């Protein structure tokens, strides 16, 4: 068990391009979360999966954002037609009982 | 009602001193209050957490004090060390859709001087 793994660690993209991030949770955890953290702020909830089912989505998650968790294992977060306001750290976390998440190290997205 | 207010924004403490970070919440439905520690370039790591039926919880040098009537909770770091220099986030949450979704404070950047 190596914790929550996120790839890539850094991504620089041009405005208007699509990007996809991957998260591999702790293997025995059935709950997976995506949060977004901007500079100087705390993380903000984006979406949550229990196994393969996406059970909740934040209003922050516009229709340009989509997340999947096929087979209840790894998850991907895709942002289409990126905008400069999407620049942030995207954090993935997993848990079993719902409390006490384990976060990954995040993917830092810079949109130029 | 969903906000968690955290103070101070930054804190400088001498080695061996006590670091105190405060948080306040509004939603009385919150029933789980974790503290996370984040180093630059890393994700937040769970430090300690408390439920509202307990007024204090201690783990090593870290203590959470909880005041349910005032809707406030605080983190005390005793014997602060330079290695404690990091950003600390409080959070509040309640069970929703089968899990706990966190509302984080804005963070406190702690610097412990050697």
What are the pLDDT digits (tens) for B22-31? 999 999 999 9
Query: Rounded to a whole number, what is the distance in Å from the CA of A100 to chain B's nearest CA?
Result: 7
Query: Rounded to a whole number, what is the distance in Å from the CA of A83 to chain B's nearest CA?
Result: 23
Of A90-99, B10-19, B34-43, B66-75, the one with minimum mean pLDDT is: A90-99
Query: Rounded to a whole number, what is the distance in Å from the CA of A88 to chain B's nearest CA?
Result: 12
- Residues of chain B in contact with residue A44, where contact means CB-CB under 8 angstroms, are 104
Percent of chain B with pLDDT over 90: 89
Distance CA B106, CA B85 (A): 17
Q: Which 3-state string (H, E, C) describes B42-108?
A: CCCEEEEEECCCCCEEEECCEEEEEECCCCEEEEEECCCCHHHCEEEEEEEECEECCEECCEECCCE
> Which 35-94 residues of chain A touch chain B by CB within 8 A?
35, 40-45, 48, 50, 55-56, 91, 93
Mean per-residue pLDDT for A12-20? 98
Residue A79, phi then psi, degrees to nearest 5: -115, 120
- The pLDDT-based confidence of A96 (bands split at 50, 70, 90) is confident
Top mean-pLDDT range of B1-15, B76-90, B95-109: B76-90
A104 and chain B in contact, CB less than 8 A: yes
Distance CA B59, CA B64 (A): 9
Whether A103 and A33 have beta carbons less than 8 Å apart is answered as no
Which tens digits make up the pLDDT trace of B3-20?
899 999 999 999 999 999
Comparing B14 with A39, the larger pLDDT belongs to B14
Q: According to the model, what pLDDT value does residue B1 have? A: 57
**B40-55 per-residue burial string, b: 16 or more CB within 10 A, e: under 16:** eeebbebbbbbebeee
Is B43 within 8 Å of A42 when comparing Cβ atoms? no
Inform me whether the pLDDT recorded for B85 exceeds 90: yes
Distance CA B61, CA A46 (A): 33
């Amino acid at each position: 068990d190596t914790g929550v793994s996120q790839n890539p660690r850094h991504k620089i993209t041009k405005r208007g391009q699509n990007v996809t991030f991957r998260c591999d949770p702790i293997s025995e955890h059935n709950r997976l979360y995506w949060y977004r953290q901007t500079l100087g702020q705390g993380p903000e909830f984006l979406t949550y999966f229990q196994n393969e089912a996406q059970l909740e989505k934040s209003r922050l998650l516009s229709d340009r954002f989509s997340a999947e968790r096929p087979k209840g294992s790894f998850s991907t977060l895709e942002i289409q037609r990126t905008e400069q306001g999407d620049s942030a750290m995207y954090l993935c976390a997993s848990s079993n009982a719902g409390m006490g998440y384990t976060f990954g190290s995040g993917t830092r997205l810079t949109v130029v | 009602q969903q906000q968690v207010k955290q103070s101070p924004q930054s804190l400088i403490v001498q080695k061996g001193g006590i670091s105190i970070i405060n948080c306040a919440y509004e939603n009385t439905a919150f029933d789980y209050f974790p503290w996370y520690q984040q180093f630059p370039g890393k994700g937040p790591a769970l430090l300690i957490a408390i439920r509202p039926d307990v007024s204090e919880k201690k783990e090593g040098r870290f203590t959470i004090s909880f005041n349910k009537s005032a809707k406030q909770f605080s983190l005390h770091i005793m014997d602060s060390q330079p290695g404690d220099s990091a950003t600390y986030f409080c959070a509040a949450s309640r069970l929703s859709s089968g899990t706990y979704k966190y509302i984080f404070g804005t963070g406190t950047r702690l610097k412990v001087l050697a």
